[in-house]
Amino acid sequence: MAEELIRVAAHWHAVRRVAVLTGAGMSAESGIPTFRGAHNGLWQRFDPMQLATAEAFRADPALVWGWYVWRMGMVRAAAPNAGHRALAALASTQPVALVTQNVDDLHERAGSSGAIHLHGELFAHRCFDCSRPAPDLPLPNHDTPLLRVEPPRCVHCGGPIRPGVVWFGESLPERAWSNAVAAVEGADLVLVVGTSGLVHPAAGLPLHAKRRGAVVVEINPESTPISPTADVTWRESAARALPALVTALAR
Task: Report what 127 binds from Zn ion, ligand NAD, none; CB cut-off 5-8 Å by kind.
Answer: Zn ion
Task: Count the site residues for ligand NAD by CB under 6 A.
Answer: 31
Residue 64 φ then ψ, to 5°: -65, -45
Q: Does 167 bind ligand NAD (CB under 6 A)?
A: no
- The shares of helix, strand and coil residues in the chain, as percent rounded to the nearest 5, are 40, 15, 40
In the residue annotation, 119 being an active-site residue is answered as yes
Catalytic residue from among 84, 119, 142, 208: 119
Q: Does 36 bind ligand NAD (CB under 6 A)?
A: yes
- Per DSSP, the residues of 27-49 read GGGGT---SS-TTT-HHHHS-HH
Peptide linkage before 201 cis (omega within 30 of 0): yes
CB atoms within 10 A of CB 61: 19
User: Where do contacts with Zn ion occur on this chain (CB under 5 A)?
Assistant: 127, 129-130, 154, 156-157, 159
How many CA atoms are closer than 13 Å to the CA of 217, on its beta-carbon side? Answer: 25
Minimal distance, residue 48 CB to ligand NAD, in Å: 10
Q: Pattern 93-112, binding to ligand NAD, x per CB under 6 A?
A: --------xxxx--------
Minimal distance, residue 111 CB to ligand NAD, in Å: 17
Q: How far apart are CA 149 and CA 161, in angstroms?
A: 12
What residues line the site for ligand NAD (CB under 6 A)?
23-25, 27-29, 32, 34-37, 41-42, 101-104, 119, 193-196, 198-199, 219-222, 224, 237-238
Catalytic residue list: 119
